[in-house]
Amino acid sequence: MSGFAEKFIDNPYAVFRAARQRHPVLWQNFFGLPMWLVTGYKEAEALLKDARFIREVKKADTSGHQPVHPENTPPPEVGLMRNMMLFRDAPDHTRLRNLVNKAFTPRMVQRLSPIIESIADQLLDECRASPQHELIRDFSHLLPAFVIAELLGVPKEDQGFFRNWSNAFFRFIDFNPSMEELESNTRDIEDAKRYFEALIETRRSHPRDDLISRLIEAKEKYDQLNTEEMVATCLLLVFAGHETTGNLITNGYKLLLDHPGMYDMLRGNAVLAPAAVEETLRYEPPILMVYRVVSDDLVFAGQSMQQGQVVMIALAGANRDPSVMSQPEDFNIVRSDCKHLSFASGPHYCLGAPLARLEGEIALRKLVARLEKPEIIGQPRWKQSIVFRGYETLHIRAEVV
C-alpha cells in the first residue's frame, strides 16, 4: 500500500478538508486516477439527487477515463451483482426498490426491536466469563449478522458463513481490487449465491414469516422479482447490513470511550442513544465515499464535466463541511445541527437505514449500561480500506454486569 494510502486510512478527513478548501468539487488525481472529488455538503447532496450522475458505467462512454469499480469487466460469476439495486439506475433501480419495499417494511423493522434487545443481551451475557473482550468479534459484528439472519430466516447454524461472504463483497467493491483478490472474492460470493438459491426454493414450497417469503410474494401490478434478483437482494442485505452496521457500532463505542464526557451523558440518559448514533454516522461513518459517473457533458457547481468521468462523493468529507454545521471537527452527541449524508440521499438513500439506526441505538445503549469501567487495550488499527471505515480489532477490558 502506498504512503498516501496509509496516510489517508489514518486520517481521511485531512485529505477531504484540504480538497474542500481548494474547491468543494475538485478535479484531481485521487489514488492515481483522474476524477472529481466532491467534499462540500450542499454539492454532495445535490449530486446524489441529480439523475445526470449514474451508477452503471456501461451507460456512459468511459473511454479515456478509468472507472473506480471493475464492474465493466468482472468475472462472470459476479454478474449477479448487477441485479443489486445498489448498482442500478432508473428505471431498473426504481422497479427493484419498489418491489423490495413491499417486503422490507418499517413494520417489519420495528418487529425486530425486542429480538435485537435479546440478541444484544445474550452476546453480552456470554462475555461475562472473561474480563477482556474483542468487541468486534464478540459483539458488534455478531449482532447485525444474527439480526439479518433472523430477518431473512437463515437457520442459526448457517449464520457463521456471513462473515466470509460479507468480507468478500466489501473487498470486491473497495478501491481497485487486484484480479487475484477478485478471483478469491468470487468464490465466496458464488458460495453465498448457491446458498440463497437453495433457501429461496425451500421458501417457495414452505413459506414462513420472514423476508425471503415476503420477497417471493411481493408484486407490483404484474411484476415480481425473479430468482436472480431475490438472490441479489438477499446478498445485498447480508453484506450491507452486516459489515457497515458492525462498523457503526464499533466506531460509536470507540468514540464514546475517547470522549468521557459524552460517554457519561449517554450512561446517565439512555434517551440520548439515537443522537449518539446520528453523531457517529456524521463524525466517523462506516462508508467514506461513493461514486457516480457523468452520463453526458454538463456543468455542475460551476465545473465543466465530461461524459464518462468518475465522480467520487466524499460523504465523510461533506459531513464535516463547516459551511453547514458548527464545529464539525468536534464529536458532540448533543449538537443541535447534526446533519450527515452517511446513508446517501436521493433515489439511492439507504434502504436499511431504519434497521441500522435501531441496531446502533440498542447496541450503544447496552454497551454503555453493561460494560463497567471499560478500558481500551493497545492501539486499535483501522482496516486497510479506502472506502470503508472501521477497526480491524478493538480490545477492551471491562466487567460485564
Low-confidence stretches of the chain (pLDDT < 70) are: 1, 59-81, 171-184, 220-221
Q: Would you state the pLDDT for residue 72? A: 45
C-alpha cell at 86: 445498489
Supply the pLDDT for residue 179.
56
Q: Compute the residue count for the chain.
A: 401
pLDDT tens-digit map of 325-370: 999 999 999 998 899 999 999 999 999 999 999 999 999 999 999 9
Domains of the chain in sequence order: 74-285+329-400 (1.10.630.10)
Residue indicated by cell numbers 459524552: 262
DSSP per-residue codes, 124-140: HHHTTT-SEEEHIIIII
d(CA 19, CA 40): 9
Give burial (CB, 10 Å; 0-12/13-18/19+) of 235: buried
| Cα gap 132→69, rounded to integer Å | 40
Q: What is the pLDDT of residue 180?
A: 61
Buried b (16+ CB within 10 A) or exposed e, 129-147: eeeebebbebbbbbbbbbb
The model's pLDDT over 52-84, given as tens digits with 9 standing for 90+, comes to 999 987 766 555 444 444 444 455 445 666 778
CA pair distance 337, 121, nearest whole angstrom: 32
Longest dimension (CA), the chain: 62
Neighbour count for residue 92 (Cβ, 10 Å): 15
Residue 47, C-beta contacts closer than 8 angstroms, at least 6 positions apart: 38, 53, 292, 300, 311, 313
